Homo-oligomer: A and B are copies of this chain.
């Protein structure tokens, strides 16, 4: 059974909003490439630990990343399923456009 519930507007808002920041996109890249603790991530950026913590929270709130406790650390992992879902969303816009082109083609066809 494929769950694949259609995401709500608010969820989509959160996903795109999370992606609308270069630091967060970089965190997503890193954690898709391999897991990292919050402090390891924080070391990579020229901002406070708390700021990076917030960025991770935004990504987590969007479902793009998961955070799992491991001793005193929190391990952050990129969520490939969520990324896939965003692509699916974008596909829908392309479908709309292709449908329009198809209609225009149909108009031009002299059958």
When distances are taken between beta carbons in the complex, the residues of chain B under 8 Å from A99 are 33
Give chain B nearest CB distance to A35 CB in angstroms. Answer: 10
When distances are taken between beta carbons in the complex, the residues of chain B under 8 Å from A90 are 83, 86-87, 90
Give the contacts of A1-48 with B (CB-CB under 8 A). Answer: 9, 12-17, 19-22, 25, 28-29, 32-34
Q: Is the interface of A mostly helix, strand, loop or mixed?
A: helix
Contact A20 B20 (CB under 8 A): yes
- One complex includes copies of this chain to the number of 2
What is the interface of chain A, defined by CB distance below 8 A to chain B? 9, 12-17, 19-22, 25, 28-29, 32-34, 78, 80, 83-84, 86-87, 90-91, 93-94, 96-97, 99-100
The contact sample of 14 A-B pairs, CB cut-off 8 A, is A14-B20, A16-B16, A16-B17, A16-B19, A16-B20, A17-B17, A32-B97, A33-B97, A33-B100, A80-B94, A84-B94, A86-B90, A87-B90, A87-B94
